[in-house]
Chain A
Amino acid sequence: MGHRSYVGQSPPRREDPGLVAGAHRYVADIVVPGCLDAVFVRSFEAHGLLNAVDLAAAQSMEGIVGAYSAGELPDLPVTPAPPRAEVPPEMSWPALARDRVRFAGQPIAVVLAADRYTAEDGAELVFADIDPLEAVIDPGPAASDEVMLFEPRSNVVSVREFGAPVDDVMDSAPVVVETIIRNERLCPTSIETRGIVVVPDGDDITVHVSHQAPQRLRQSLARSFGIEAELVRVIVPHVGGAFGAKSQTYPEYIVIAHLARKLGRPVRWIEDRREAFAGATHGRGQTQRLRLAADREGNLLALEALVDADIGAYPHTGEFIAANTGWMLSGPYTIPHLHVRVRAVVTNTTPTAAYRGAGRPEAAYALERALDRLAHRLGADPAELRLRNFIDRNEFPYRSPTGAVYDSGDHAAALRLALERAGYDDARAEQRRRRTTGDGNPLGIGIGSYIERSGGQEGSTEFGSVTIEPDGTVVARSGATPQGQGHATAFAQVVASALEVELDRVSVIQGDTDEVPVGVGTFGSRSMQVGGSSLHHAAHDALEEARLRASAHLEVAEADLRYDDGRFTVVGTDRSVTLGQLATERALSAQAEFGPPQAFPFGTYVAVVELDRDTGDISLEKLVAVDDCGIVINPKLVEGQSVGSIIQGIGQALYEQVVFDEYGQPLMSSLMDYSLPTVAELPELVLDQTVTPNPNVPLGNKGAGEAGCIGTPPAIVNAIVDALGGRDEGIDLPVTPEKVWLVLSRSD
């Protein structure tokens, strides 16, 4: 039987011709006749009493169709709380500020005109009367409640604990290292900013939006406006990046949908870059205090982590992302005692939400930095220290002390491969030579081992359906909506392999709730693991149904049928029937909503850096990434995910940081201020893999979208600290040349 499988192959990406030709259409390209352009007026104060919003001048300006603040829109819904986050009702996020502003960039008013030029002219005429209040920027001070955002409620929104206090172990442990880490805020910075067009038609609304989870957005809009979900159609056109920050329902979306419904006219809002920095959610933003205890041989005894997550002015997705950090803090190691406390704290800054990695980079960075401190203290090789403490490959499935169940793994193998690909021993020899002779720039080698979690929320499913058309083509529908990853290519591979038909026969439909009413979305490295598995199951079910029909149609037992390339043949005869023929009289289709357990991809990154003695300039010479995401369906797509995610990891390690001044003013308002790396900042990259199949899904795959930004920062920063001989005072994220120079100049 000629079994056709596309698993493990890299056919040309179906998405590319349109991208290369500039033919793809994004939200801003959608032309709806009569559509109004909306521009938001945003708070210039980080914290203040909003006394009045004067709209008169804007309202009377020629060309302005309307100008509104919360006062003009009494029945404007609040921003709906995201699933899973703990949002006390009194802390809910108004779609337009009412009485109080809590971060600079918060929408206060909205102005509508036939074009954006006019709308911006109108927005300039809106005057907001704000009495400033003291702002609190840092989660540590914010937690003390001296300045409150929501009196009388504490700024501490939630406290989550894992394990029990470990003070007794700390007190008696032979070695304890302590470290305070600031995991800075980052801006997700997709090239395409947010954007939404809402077209009303009677009670129906059609929403074109750049989004990761259209089905969820549909439900949330329907709930907000108290209408049936059937009345809301959400369509996601091509998306130019999302990175977790486009999976939410934002205040702006509520305002635009509300106005479109109220006026009975199409309204759109296309975010500009300045708004994307101040008004869209940020990622990361944690202060972590770690204590790691070990015996003198380097066997880990206990870990304590006190994490303050700065979740910005209104609790949103950031509230539970902090919990992910706690959940993942024991990493790939056997740590007998663990205590993690995660506090989610509001501050007068932009709210936080998911950003690629979403909690795992924060965990991996803290743990890997602490491990290197421990290695330095013990005089141990950091690679040896990790090998000594990895969970053994025979211990999987492994229940971590935080309660996560790691499906499978061989961490030592990944680390050894990474060392080999990095030329670890040679690099160490060169480092010794430079240190003894004093010539050449300081050289450092750093390791970042990680384990992450893919699949999204435990038990969450994804919708997949497979329909065989009478002409023999196959249509796959998935709730996993892409943002540029290449789902249409990879999902077709899964379905064509399951049906054993030619790849070209399979087309993939996603991102339109009329076509795919049910679904969860693309985030948490879940699309192939969860969505791909569902399609695999649906395809198999469709094939089984076809086999039943073929047996009836050809009047033979199933055992007498041979299946090959979309055709059932009665063994030993030339009597046959095709899939298409079997779908002619009755629709031939199957669907699945599979919800496998979470998976735990892992790997090790090794970075080699050189420092300029005089200027502290950091030259990232080499980065080796060994990832294990189980069976790889499409190597090219996984490579693309790795490279993109690694660049973002390099960004966090060396370049990116959202900075607010003490008054809560964002100092980053454009890509001139916010230092976003590009391909020019890529070092020599070595990508390699180990393959430990996921036992819980049919194709053995695990998530592959986020590893790079998890493994990269600790590897790079550990390398820098290694080059500095272990001195890490002031070496905070992002590690910029002047921080390195300060350490170098202190020692001279």
Chain B
Amino acid sequence: MFPSRFDYSAPDSLDEALATLGQRADETKVLAGGQSLIPLLKLRFAAPATLVDINRIPGLDVLEESNGHLRIGTLARHNQLAADSLVGRRYPTIASAAPQIADPLVRNLGTIGGSLAHGDPAGDWGSVMLALNAEVVVRGPTGERRIPIDDFLVDIFTTSLNEDEIVTEVLVPQPEGSFGGAYLKLERKVGDFATVGVAVHLELDGDTIARAGLGLTAVGSRNIKPTNAENALGGNKCSDELFAEAARLAAEAADPVSDVRGPATYKRAVVEAYVKRGLAEARDQARARAGRT
């Protein structure tokens, strides 16, 4: 499990990185945390001619609110997001998901941008960002694009990122009103990829759902946004019946396959159970927040 030969460059500016990438984009890979790419190299499933290490580029790990968004730099590590107090106060879905990703070693290195760019349907961030309606900011030779996450994620290990582009940050809309969120993950054991993951985000106006966001992990060829379920929730008053209906619709949107982590019917059942639980938890958080203000 030793990789094939490759060239390595570690530029300290984004322009330089883009230039190196542009030379032979089809044979070059960006290296962020390396927690997905290095295993692929070691298994020789990937053999790029060049790696462009972006870890020395300053500014790619911003984490701040501005212009109605939370800006998350592409190099924000999973652990940084798990420990950040702003995230902890205002972005419960993110705060809940981050410590459930992998193990502490992987979390210290793995990045949000790398995770999204990898396009693994079993990745947790994709679902969280779908629930939060995030956008992915990318830079290429011709400038910058902002891609809604639902358009960014295309298929298994496939995104709408071009080979000569680099993800720079992720923009998460700031929550409004009283809000709550959660990430529920069924894993075989601590540190494992999800058997099923469910991201939930709710914004309440009184007891009416102003916005509902959902995302499903590991139950399709990409992270799934169950829009029927979201639409069923939006504009309606919270109730157990409504949540059950949304859970049913979300389970319908799931398209899992049977594998070593369990049969498809089971995974669908877990989606249903977790959407129901996640919504109840998000509602309780939102009510508690409303009570505090």
Known: A117-B5, A120-B2. A672 touches B193 (CB 8 A): yes
Closest beta carbon of chain A to B37's beta carbon, Å: 15
Question: Do the beta carbons of A121 and B43 come within 8 Å of each other?
Answer: no
Which residues of chain B have C-beta atoms less than 8 A from A676's C-beta?
189
Complexed CA–CA distance, A120 and B4 (Å): 8
Question: Do the beta carbons of B188 and A675 come within 8 Å of each other?
Answer: yes
A297 contacts B by Cβ under 8 Å: no
- The residue of chain A having its C-beta at the shortest distance from the C-beta of B262 within the complex is A738
Question: Do the beta carbons of B193 and A741 come within 8 Å of each other?
Answer: no
Closest beta carbon of chain B to A374's beta carbon, Å: 30
- The residue of chain A having its C-beta at the shortest distance from the C-beta of B277 within the complex is A614
> Contact flags (1/0) for B187-206 with A, using CB distance below 8 Å?
01111110100000000000
Question: Do the beta carbons of A680 and B188 come within 8 Å of each other?
Answer: no
Most buried by B among A116, A273, A615: A615
Question: Do the beta carbons of A273 and B273 come within 8 Å of each other?
Answer: no
Which residues of chain A have C-beta atoms less than 8 A from B4's C-beta?
120-121, 124
Which residues of chain B have C-beta atoms less than 8 A from A680's C-beta?
189-191
Which residues of chain B have C-beta atoms less than 8 A from A616's C-beta?
266
Complexed CA–CA distance, A675 and B191 (Å): 10
Known: A659-B260, A680-B191, A737-B186. A116 touches B44 (CB 8 A): no
Question: Do the beta carbons of A737 and B262 come within 8 Å of each other?
Answer: yes
- The residue of chain A having its C-beta at the shortest distance from the C-beta of B184 within the complex is A615
Question: Do the beta carbons of B2 and A675 come within 8 Å of each other?
Answer: no
Known: A120-B2, A673-B260, A738-B263. A678 touches B190 (CB 8 A): yes
Known: A120-B2, A121-B4. A615 touches B189 (CB 8 A): no
Closest beta carbon of chain B to A712's beta carbon, Å: 16
Question: Do the beta carbons of A681 and B189 come within 8 Å of each other?
Answer: yes
Question: Do the beta carbons of A615 and B269 come within 8 Å of each other?
Answer: yes
Question: Do the beta carbons of B5 and A121 come within 8 Å of each other?
Answer: yes
Question: Do the beta carbons of B192 and A675 come within 8 Å of each other?
Answer: yes
Which residues of chain A have C-beta atoms less than 8 A from B134's C-beta?
none
B270 contacts A by Cβ under 8 Å: yes
Contact of B189 among A655, A673, A738, A742 (CB under 8 A): A655
Question: Do the beta carbons of B188 and A736 come within 8 Å of each other?
Answer: yes
Complexed CA–CA distance, A670 and B274 (Å): 29
Complexed CA–CA distance, A680 and B103 (Å): 10
Which residues of chain B have C-beta atoms less than 8 A from A745's C-beta?
269
Most buried by B among A677, A678, A680, A737: A737
A515 contacts B by Cβ under 8 Å: no
Complexed CA–CA distance, A371 and B55 (Å): 59
Complex interface residues of chain B between 1 and 16 (CB less than 8 A to chain A): 1-5
Question: Do the beta carbons of B1 and A617 come within 8 Å of each other?
Answer: no
Which residues of chain B have C-beta atoms less than 8 A from A120's C-beta?
2, 4, 44
Complexed CA–CA distance, A121 and B3 (Å): 9
A274 contacts B by Cβ under 8 Å: yes
A164 contacts B by Cβ under 8 Å: no
Contact of A742 among B2, B190, B266 (CB under 8 A): B266
Which residues of chain B have C-beta atoms less than 8 A from A272's C-beta?
1
A667 contacts B by Cβ under 8 Å: yes
Question: Do the beta carbons of B190 and A681 come within 8 Å of each other?
Answer: yes
Complexed CA–CA distance, A745 and B270 (Å): 12
Question: Do the beta carbons of B191 and A678 come within 8 Å of each other?
Answer: yes
Complexed CA–CA distance, A745 and B266 (Å): 10
Closest beta carbon of chain A to B116's beta carbon, Å: 20
Which residues of chain A have C-beta atoms less than 8 A from B44's C-beta?
120, 124
Closest beta carbon of chain B to A496's beta carbon, Å: 40
Known: A124-B44, A667-B260, A742-B266. A117 touches B2 (CB 8 A): yes
Which residues of chain A have C-beta atoms less than 8 A from B263's C-beta?
738
- The residue of chain A having its C-beta at the shortest distance from the C-beta of B1 within the complex is A272
Question: Do the beta carbons of A675 and B43 come within 8 Å of each other?
Answer: no
> Contact flags (1/0) for A459-484 with B, using CB distance below 8 Å?
00000000000000000000000000
Which residues of chain B have C-beta atoms less than 8 A from A741's C-beta?
266, 269-270
Complex interface residues of chain A between 254 and 308 (CB less than 8 A to chain B): 272-274
- The residue of chain B having its C-beta at the shortest distance from the C-beta of A669 within the complex is B43
- The residue of chain A having its C-beta at the shortest distance from the C-beta of B272 within the complex is A614
Closest beta carbon of chain A to B124's beta carbon, Å: 15
Question: Do the beta carbons of B188 and A655 come within 8 Å of each other?
Answer: yes
- The residue of chain B having its C-beta at the shortest distance from the C-beta of A115 within the complex is B2
Question: Do the beta carbons of B189 and A614 come within 8 Å of each other?
Answer: no
Which residues of chain A have C-beta atoms less than 8 A from B262's C-beta?
736-738
Which residues of chain B have C-beta atoms less than 8 A from A670's C-beta?
39, 43
Closest beta carbon of chain B to A294's beta carbon, Å: 36
> Contact flags (1/0) for B111-132 with A, using CB distance below 8 Å?
0000000000000000000000
Which residues of chain B have C-beta atoms less than 8 A from A736's C-beta?
188, 262
- The residue of chain A having its C-beta at the shortest distance from the C-beta of B3 within the complex is A117
Closest beta carbon of chain B to A444's beta carbon, Å: 20
Question: Do the beta carbons of B260 and A614 come within 8 Å of each other?
Answer: no
Closest beta carbon of chain A to B243's beta carbon, Å: 13
Complexed CA–CA distance, A655 and B190 (Å): 11
Closest beta carbon of chain B to A708's beta carbon, Å: 18
Which residues of chain A have C-beta atoms less than 8 A from B270's C-beta?
614-615, 741
Complexed CA–CA distance, A737 and B189 (Å): 11
Complexed CA–CA distance, A615 and B274 (Å): 9
Which residues of chain B have C-beta atoms less than 8 A from A274's C-beta?
1, 43
Complexed CA–CA distance, A676 and B4 (Å): 28
Question: Do the beta carbons of A615 and B273 come within 8 Å of each other?
Answer: yes
Closest beta carbon of chain A to B244's beta carbon, Å: 12
Which residues of chain B have C-beta atoms less than 8 A from A678's C-beta?
189-191
Which residues of chain A have C-beta atoms less than 8 A from B193's C-beta?
672
Closest beta carbon of chain A to B195's beta carbon, Å: 8
Complexed CA–CA distance, A672 and B193 (Å): 8
> Contact flags (1/0) for B247-291 with A, using CB distance below 8 Å?
000000000000010110010011001100100000000000000
Which residues of chain A have C-beta atoms less than 8 A from B192's C-beta?
672, 675
- The residue of chain B having its C-beta at the shortest distance from the C-beta of A124 within the complex is B44
Question: Do the beta carbons of A738 and B5 come within 8 Å of each other?
Answer: no
Which residues of chain A have C-beta atoms less than 8 A from B274's C-beta?
615
A-B contact pairs, 19 of them (CB 8 A): A116-B2, A120-B4, A121-B4, A124-B44, A272-B1, A273-B1, A614-B273, A615-B186, A617-B186, A672-B192, A675-B188, A676-B189, A678-B189, A736-B262, A737-B186, A738-B266, A741-B269, A741-B270, A745-B269
Given A677-B189, A737-B186, 19 other A-B contacts at CB below 8 A? A120-B2, A120-B4, A273-B1, A274-B1, A614-B277, A615-B269, A615-B270, A617-B186, A655-B188, A672-B192, A672-B193, A675-B188, A675-B189, A680-B189, A680-B190, A680-B191, A736-B262, A738-B262, A738-B263
Point out residues on B near A: beta carbons under 8 Å.
1-5, 39, 43-44, 186, 188-193, 195, 260, 262-263, 266, 269-270, 273-274, 277
Would you list the 3 A-B pairs with minimal beta carbon distance, nearest first?
A: A680-B190, A614-B273, A738-B262
